[in-house]
Chains A and B, each alone.
Chain A
């Protein structure tokens, strides 16, 4: 479980699925018949003469903090607290898991069990818990509300369930690893991989694909506005 090739396999597995996921997203956007904001975004980011690096960074941070982290574009106006907290937990949880996975991979590439009380473990658990609770809250909200249930697209429910599955499997896998149960952790590792695969292949086909497209549009726009203001 802890040998080096397995972590390399995990890394390659993620890279391949990331590429597949990107291809799926590009195909989906092509089917919509809209422009690719990613191309525009890259052009805006790397045009040397247009904006200073600090201005670009400011625009990116502004979009990330104002629009995403402060939930400005993700429901902060919603009067229903249950929904707002669910979304916040889901967004922070998912973002945190991605960051913690990268940190864990850099600091602990061999995958040595860190134990339950290691700061990295605690933070990782916390983010998985956020994601599990958040996705379940959003799923539950759509089931409880009768009118919302009738209009909900099944893919939305599937999205919440797949995020919940990923979070639960992630917690189980890390727990088995930290408890020193090699057989169970090796089984759960493959189940965890199934959760990751599900997310990589399903997210670009779900609402998340649309949000990625929209976020890159907003970021491109904020860069253009920043450019105009400096002119």
Chain B
């Protein structure tokens, strides 16, 4: 009898994981993804896997989730990989890249094109696992107070645009500028900066930028921003096989759910914005500007590939995969949208 009882008892053990998210309490969309995930994991495991979530309001360190998960203060994190590029340059590639893949293309790369393996390779060094954590879809190129008609218009342009995209613009003479989030609105309103990028209608609406900047440029720099679930390796290994699998499925489902939720919210909020402010002018960067950005982007990627063998491997994998999958996207999605668009 005792032989039979033991595994039954063991199966009832409840595993508790603490997760830190990089967003404030009640933050729409981004904050829904980890909560959906935790709820699914708990229900699928019949209550054996309980995940509690601390928001940035509680842990105060949204830009140190990497360290807190690595150090074991938290078992998991919900954040984005490119925030860690200052700690490990190779983490940059697992969120989104300028001129890179769209969300469906990038998911295909992660799960069928070798992306997950490369991500594992990068995070293994830090004794962590990383999984896709939800996609925003194409992010907008940002709010501009003045029109960009040529590469010259980018020269001296003071823009809040962090990370790698900022480096690309700096190559063209723009001046990426740091402004505290709380002072962004005032800075744009008073021309302390000329432009800024945030996300897209899903999250830009509540920032109110559309009231003070007339031009809304379409995206080029973050075509498919993928968030990230980070897990401490020791916490992962403590879970029995079935719970690991439940967690894996919950994360993958929550990530996809966030992608469609973003699409939904962007559509809804875009309608609100254009209704309230019919004067918003949606603009596309001229071809000349886009080409200059692409050249700068390629140059910087080449430098990164030369500096680091793992970076080289990732950049090549992404480039090859993009080339193949894009040919299909172009004759499928793009042709479909173009051919039915009419005038």
Do these two chains interact?
A: no
Q: Using CB atoms and an 8 Å cutoff, list the residues of chain A in contact with chain B.
A: none
Binding site for A on B (CB under 8 A): none
